[in-house]
Each structure stands twice: as C-alpha cells, then as structure tokens.
Chains A and B, each alone.
Chain A
C-alpha cells in the first residue's frame, strides 16, 4: 500500500516564475486536499477535490494559484508569478469517503528568491 507522494520534494525559483507541483494520492481515496505550511505554523487549508471536482477553495488561494485533478487521480497545484511570500511547504493529503482522517504526503518545499 503506497502512501501519498508529491513531486518535487524541493523547488527553488526566482520571483515572478511559475511553478507546478504534483500530488499522487492513495489510489482508493477519492478526496484530495492541498495545504500550505509556513515555518512554525500548522498547515492551512487551500483547496479540496472530490474525484475531479474542486469543491472548496480557501481565501488563501489567490488568483495566482490554480489546482486541477483532471481524471480524479493525481492533482497539480500551479502558482503563477511567484512572490517571496509564497515560500512555504505545500502539503497534499487524501482520504476515502466515509472516513475523516487524512493521510499526508511528504510535501514540496518551495523557496522563492
């Protein structure tokens, strides 16, 4: 049973560049979540998919952020025109329907220089 995987694990980019992260959830999990975690803080919810439908977006998800889950399997999170304030760990999690605990991936650490 493979867990949630994320790619890349680390990304360094210059301000103004676009970046894209990928998340592969546990295969039988139909719900997928993105969170952002800054240093010394708990994860903050960004957005959530049930199958391919994006059902909820946080106020934290500015219009520079977009997420997709085209076939209800893997998901991508894109940040356009990155800013230094986007530097954070981006976590992906998944869960099956009928259970409420979420299983997290290792995260993608983004550094914007």
Chain B
C-alpha cells in the first residue's frame, strides 16, 4: 500500500516571505508521479506542480518549486514571495499505478498568509 504523510497541519507565513511545506511518501513502485494541489476555501482543487520520479531535476512553476529527495522519499513545496491568494489547504498526492490508478493524498497543510 502506498502512503502520503503531511506532518504540518498548519503553517503561517508573512506576506512576501518564503515558506516550505513538507511531504513524505512511501511506495514500492519505481516509477511514480508526485503532485501538490491547492484547495482554497470553498473552491475546487487546483494543480500547483508535478514531479516525475525519474527526473532528477526539481520542478519549478513560477513562485512554486519542489525539493524532491527520492532516496529519502521526501517531496517538499517551497512558495516564494508568498501572496494573500496563496492562502489555502495544500495537499501532497502520489500516483504510482501498479494496478491502483487513483491518487493517494496526504491530510493536507493549512497555509495562512499574514498581511
């Protein structure tokens, strides 16, 4: 069985500062994909960034970047220059196939942006 663990229920950061959200995972598959999704209050889940396990280079999307440590099974999200609109629940998710096509999600981290 695959698992995703987010150990930070809530994080707070000052506007314009940088924050890092943690995620660890476990899977027996060698080929898999990792995602960060953002879920604003009462709004739908939005894909923030994706990382293919076979790629050594960390993914980057504008102010969002990941630190993917395959051996440690760690996949953290860094948000630079935090903005008020970044306030949301952030979920780490794993796709590893192997007969299980659904995503496995962590419990989420509630990100608060202090103005």
Q: Footprint of B on A, CB under 8 Å?
A: 3, 31, 33, 35, 40-46, 48, 55-56, 58, 91, 93, 100-107
CB distance A56 to B101 under 8 Å? yes
Interface residues of B (CB under 8 A from A): 4, 33, 35, 37, 43-47, 50, 91, 93, 95, 99-108
A52 → chain B closest CB, angstroms: 16
The 9 A-B pairs with the shortest beta carbon distances in the complex, nearest first, are A45-B102, A42-B105, A104-B45, A106-B44, A100-B33, A100-B95, A48-B101, A42-B91, A43-B105
Across-interface contacts of B102 in A (CB, < 8 A):
33, 35, 45-46, 48, 56, 58
Given the interface pairs A48-B101, A101-B50, the reply to whether A42 lies near B106 with Cβ below 8 Å is: yes
A and B contact pairs by CB, cutoff 8 A, 12 listed: A33-B101, A35-B103, A42-B93, A42-B106, A42-B107, A43-B45, A43-B91, A44-B105, A45-B100, A101-B50, A104-B44, A105-B44
With A48-B101, A48-B102, A100-B95 already in contact, the answer to whether A91 and B107 are too (CB < 8 A) is no
Contacts of A100 in B (CB 8 A): 33, 50, 95
Complex contact B47–A56 (CB within 8 A): no
Q: Tell me if A56 and B107 are in contact (CB < 8 A).
A: no
For B33, the chain A residues whose CB sits under 8 A away are 100-101
Residues of chain A within 8 A (CB-CB) of B103 are 33, 35, 43, 45, 93, 102
B47-A103 in contact (CB<8A)? yes
Give every chain B residue within 8 A of A106 (Cβ-Cβ). 43-44
A41 near B101: Cβ-Cβ < 8 Å: no
Least distance between A102 CB and chain B CB atoms (Å): 6
Chain A residues, Cβ within 8 Å of B100:
45, 56
Q: Which residues of B contact A41 (CB under 8 A)?
A: 107-108
Q: Which residues of A contact B43 (CB under 8 A)?
A: 106
CB-CB under 8 A from A91, the residues of chain B are 45
Closest-by-CB residue of B relative to A49 is B101
